[in-house]
Amino acid sequence: MRKLLSILLLLCSVTLAFAVTALHLSPEHLDPKDDIELLLEITQAAENVAAVNIHYRLLGESIWLSKAMQQDQPGSVFWRGEIPRSVVANNEFEYRFEMQLSSGNTEYLPLDDGKTYFTINPNSPSGTQTDGFVLLSDESSISADDGYVLAVSFLALADDIDPHSIKVYVGGRDVTKQAQITGDVLVYRDEKPRAGIQKAMIVANVEGKELYSDTWITQILPGTGRSGIPFKLRGNVNFSAHIYAESSDDLTYSVAKDDYRTWADLYGNYGILDLQTNLLISSLEDSHAQPVNRFTFGLQLPVLDVFVGDYSPNLSNYTLSGKNIRGIYASLHSEYLALSFAHGESMRKTKSEGNLAQGIPKSGTFKQEALGARLSMGRDNGFRIGFSGSRHRDVVSSLDEQYYRYQTSSGDTLYSVMAQDNAVIGVDARLNVPEQHVLMGFEMAGSITNKNTIPGPMTSEEWEDYLDLDLLGLEIDPEDYADLFVINKNMQPFLPSMANVAWLAYLRMYVWNNFLNVQYNETGSAFYSLGSYVQPQDTKTLSITDQISIGRLLSLTAGYSTTEDNVTGHKSETNSYQNIFAQAILRIPRYPYLKAAFYDNIGENKANTAIEDSIFVPYNRDSQNFSFGIGYNISQIPYVPTQIDLSYRLGNDFSEHDFTLGQGWETLTDNENSGVSLSMNNRFTMIPLRTQFAYTTAKNKNLILDKSYQNSSFYFKADVSLWQNRIKPYLSYRKTTLKGAYDPQDYANINLGVESFPIKNMTATADLGFKSYANDLDGAKDYDTTTFRICLTQRF
């Protein structure tokens, strides 16, 4: 049932407000001698996606590895990436997509529920399975002291098999060179195998057809002559550098700075102990800016996790979530109780000397400290309740006064930056009933925030004058609590209320072949949390998504969300937005797949009748988009198997305001847009050539001005695999053309490079790129840039 639920979630990419939606189809067939190519299509809000990464790991492991994806061309909805064949060959693995948004948020496909991922078992490569390979060494379990032996007979195929095409894969590695082939028998030996499960497979070309054997599994038991808990190390070490040159610094939008970076991600395992080390060093590190360099050391035991360095703890949605802290994080956990703690620097102090000659004063940023803790009780597969708290404080003493306060010519005191105090406490509960496929929960948090702690705390006399506390019978001296929180008139608001509160509730369930996700959240106008990504203040949002899937054949996903501000009723108008979306994909094995999507976004405002003498200007906004497409993996072409994907999009964007306050509406925008995207991959079987084409065109017509804007982009890439895929020279060309109401312009990019694999598990890439800009009406604006890039990666 878990796998069935996983299938239902594969294409579910909707976040709370449907910021980004995406489609992905897992590959049907894999070849262990090739990297695993993945294609992701952003179907909505593609312009908000800054980067996409693939996270992957072998099934049963806890550590994710990462690989960046590449966009076909700027503005394209297609992102492509590869998982190295040497990492997952012949092993079942799972993966997900991490979409980094320009806002700083991160979204995942499938939804980040901690359970559901795309799963692939590459034991069924492309081609046809045959029983012509007969296993002679049929021991199902052996001792590591005896060594591992793979003996296979292919007598039935001996007359037709191409002996040079035989590939032997053991434990996910190509061991063909270490195998011995004598007549119609193949033998591979490993005198010192590692304990665990060993998988083996043979692939060969017989009469021009690709055939593969069964997957043979052998359990290797720890021997007496070696440690029963060997230390396992994996990961990667990398180095990259970029060198830039521009024909004219004045014409380019920005002058890139030469840079280099080196980074390493190492993971070790020794029995129940897991170790993790992450390091990034970049030449872009600048003491006058926030850190670029990163380092992390982690230690994990069944009941204890400790991370030192840069870490992003996730205590709860409203306290600490997704923000980097340089310090220490520790979590002590058992089946029924867990205690987490985080402390460190969330922002470092910076200083800028300014330029007195140009009238630019000195400025800086305070060092900001973060502290968080969480206590949770209960079981993950039952009822769990948690209590969380966080505090962020700008340390005023970390920065000299001259970098944040100065006097104007009139004698006024101004702050170029203000120090803040922020504290958040929250409670959350969750009920998980796996047998019924039901998950429900809620979270509530309250915050207090001081927007300027530089003046210091109030005195007890100022406190009593500001609030008539004698009526309450309270005696409080704010100076006594200054080490915990600075209390003065800059607190927003001064006294806690529902405006300081944020809460959410959710329900996820699988019922009647549907995966249903309902969530409601409400945030007060004065709720601030410096430890989590910015919550839309003074808003409430309801989102509902539903998905039904019939195996891998059909997937239907639909959703509705509504967002409304002015929860506290303090503003003169209330803005509301409704979003509706639906997308479907039909995939029949060995036939083309069909896909379609529809989005409708409506916005309007209403007057707040509780506030008098306010100017209210009503407006209406409506944008609709519809897309449909077809794709096919054309394996029937004998010499050039081709994968093709074609999409067509059309839509409109309309808005109007009533500036005359009831006397008539004025149309502000009325646009029609359409576009076509074509992507095609070709693999040649007779020659080691692979080509990739992508074409995108978009048109926007302004019906009010009767003007049209057009842009088109063409992308081509070809690479050749030489010396058994050890060297891959490639050439890519991209051209983007802008036409219509603005000056005709062209951007052209050419990249020449080579990707090589000089030694085991090492990848070396060198790339020389040329970019040119041409303005057809004004040649004085033309410019050229050159970029040279190298990258070295060593995997363990």
User: 478: helix, coil or strand?
Assistant: helix
The DSSP result for 689-743, as a single string, is EEEEEEEEEEEEEETTTTEEEEEEEEEEEEEE-BTTTTEEEEEEEEEEEEEESS-
The pLDDT of residue 422 is: 94
Tens-place pLDDT, residues 758-786: 887 888 999 999 999 888 888 788 889 99
Q: How far apart are CA 696 and CA 647, in angstroms?
A: 9
Q: What is the mean pLDDT of the chain?
A: 84
Task: Count Cβ atoms within 10 A of the Cβ of residue 160 and give its class: 0-12 exposed, 13-18 middle, 19 or more buried.
Answer: middle
H or E segment and range at residue 463:
helix 460-466
Residue with tokens 């002559």: 225
Q: How far apart are CA 140 and CA 216, in angstroms?
A: 9
The pLDDT of residue 13 is: 30
Identify any residues that bridge with 209 across adjacent strands, giving them in sequence order: 206
The pLDDT of residue 28 is: 64
Which of 90, 198, 195, 60 shows the shortest CA–CA distance to 140? Answer: 198
Range name among 253-257, 370-374, 401-405, 477-481 with the lowest pLDDT average: 253-257
H or E segment and range at residue 4:
helix 2-9
Residue burial 247-283, b: 16+ Cβ < 10 Å; e: rest:
eeeeebeeeeeeeebebbbbbbbeeeebebebbbebe
| Mean pLDDT across 347-372 | 85
The pLDDT of residue 73 is: 67
**Cα-flanking dihedrals φ and ψ of residue 777, to 5°?**
-100, -15
Q: Are 535 and 541 in contact (CB under 8 A)?
A: no
Under 8 Å CB-to-CB from 315, ≥6 apart: which residues? 321, 340, 342, 372, 373, 374, 388, 390
* Residue 303, pLDDT above cutoff 80: yes
User: 319: helix, coil or strand?
Assistant: coil
| Per-residue pLDDT band at 182 (split at 50, 70, 90) | confident
Tens-place pLDDT, residues 594-603: 999 999 999 9
The gap from C-alpha 671 to its chain's centroid, in whole angstroms, comes to: 32
* Residue 169, pLDDT above cutoff 90: no
Token pair listed for 599: 């989005």
Task: Count Cβ atoms within 10 A of the Cβ of residue 224 and give its class: 0-12 exposed, 13-18 middle, 19 or more buried.
Answer: exposed
| Mean pLDDT across 2-6 | 35
Phi-psi region at 109: left, alpha or beta (left = phi > 0; alpha = psi -120 to 50): beta
Dihedral of alpha carbons 163, 167, 168, 173, sign: positive
The pLDDT of residue 12 is: 35
Task: Count Cβ atoms within 10 A of the Cβ of residue 775 and give its class: 0-12 exposed, 13-18 middle, 19 or more buried.
Answer: middle
Above pLDDT 70, what percent of the chain?
89
Under 8 Å CB-to-CB from 13, ≥6 apart: which residues? 20, 21, 22, 23, 107, 109, 110, 111
Tens-place pLDDT, residues 63-76: 778 888 888 766 67
Q: How far apart are CA 451 and CA 488, in angstroms?
A: 10
Amino acid at 282: S
The pLDDT of residue 197 is: 76
* Residue 474, pLDDT above cutoff 90: no
Strands lying side by side in the sheet with 36-44 = 21-24, 36-44, 78-83, 70-71
Amino acid at 139: E
* Residue 93, pLDDT above cutoff 90: no
| Per-residue pLDDT band at 44 (split at 50, 70, 90) | confident
Tens-place pLDDT, residues 723-763: 877 899 999 999 989 887 667 889 999 999 999 988 878 88
Task: Count Cβ atoms within 10 A of the Cβ of residue 486 and give its class: 0-12 exposed, 13-18 middle, 19 or more buried.
Answer: buried
The pLDDT of residue 471 is: 46
* Residue 231, pLDDT above cutoff 50: yes
The pLDDT of residue 250 is: 56
| Per-residue pLDDT band at 81 (split at 50, 70, 90) | confident
The pLDDT of residue 89 is: 58
The pLDDT of residue 10 is: 32
Identify any residues that bridge with 503 across adjacent strands, giving them in sequence order: 444, 522
More confident residue, 146 or 576: 576
Above pLDDT 90, what percent of the chain?
34
* Beta strand 363-365 pairing with 70-71: unpaired
Q: Are 295 and 307 in contact (CB under 8 A)?
A: no
Token pair listed for 246: 């521009």
Helices (H), 565-656: none
Q: Is the peptide bond before 313 cis (omega within 30 degrees of 0)?
A: no
Token pair listed for 148: 């591992």
Q: Are 794 and 263 in contact (CB under 8 A)?
A: no
Q: How far apart are CA 122 and CA 128, in angstroms?
A: 14
The pLDDT of residue 630 is: 93
Q: Are 704 and 670 in contact (CB under 8 A)?
A: yes
Tens-place pLDDT, residues 701-734: 988 888 888 889 899 999 998 887 789 999 999 9
* Residue 189, pLDDT above cutoff 50: yes
The gap from C-alpha 539 to its chain's centroid, in whole angstroms, comes to: 26
How do the residues of the chain divide into helix, strand and coil, expressed in percent and rounded to 5?
Answer: 5, 55, 35
The pLDDT of residue 4 is: 32
* Residue 496, pLDDT above cutoff 90: no
Q: How far apart are CA 510 and CA 518, in angstroms?
A: 12
| Mean pLDDT across 433-458 | 90
Range name among 242-256, 260-274, 357-371, 645-659 with the lowest pLDDT average: 242-256
| Per-residue pLDDT band at 87 (split at 50, 70, 90) | low
Q: How far apart are CA 108 and CA 505, in angstroms?
A: 20
| Mean pLDDT across 247-254 | 59
User: 624: helix, coil or strand?
Assistant: strand
Give 141-194 as a 3 state SS string.
EEEHHHCEEEEEECHHHCCCECHHHCEEEECCEECHHHCEEECCEEEEEECCCC
* Residue 593, pLDDT above cutoff 70: yes
More confident residue, 282 or 246: 282
Range name among 212-226, 467-481, 491-505 with the lowest pLDDT average: 467-481
The pLDDT of residue 42 is: 84
User: Please, what is the end-to-end C-alpha distance for the chain in angstroms?
Assistant: 35
| Mean pLDDT across 492-503 | 86
pTM: 0.77
| Mean pLDDT across 653-681 | 85
The pLDDT of residue 2 is: 38
H or E segment and range at residue 466:
helix 460-466
What separation in angstroms does the CA of 358 have from each of 355, 409, 413? 5, 16, 20
* Residue 326, pLDDT above cutoff 90: yes
Which of 602, 601, 599, 695 shows the shortest CA–CA distance to 650? Answer: 599
Token pair listed for 791: 């990258």
- Identify the DSSP state of 321: B
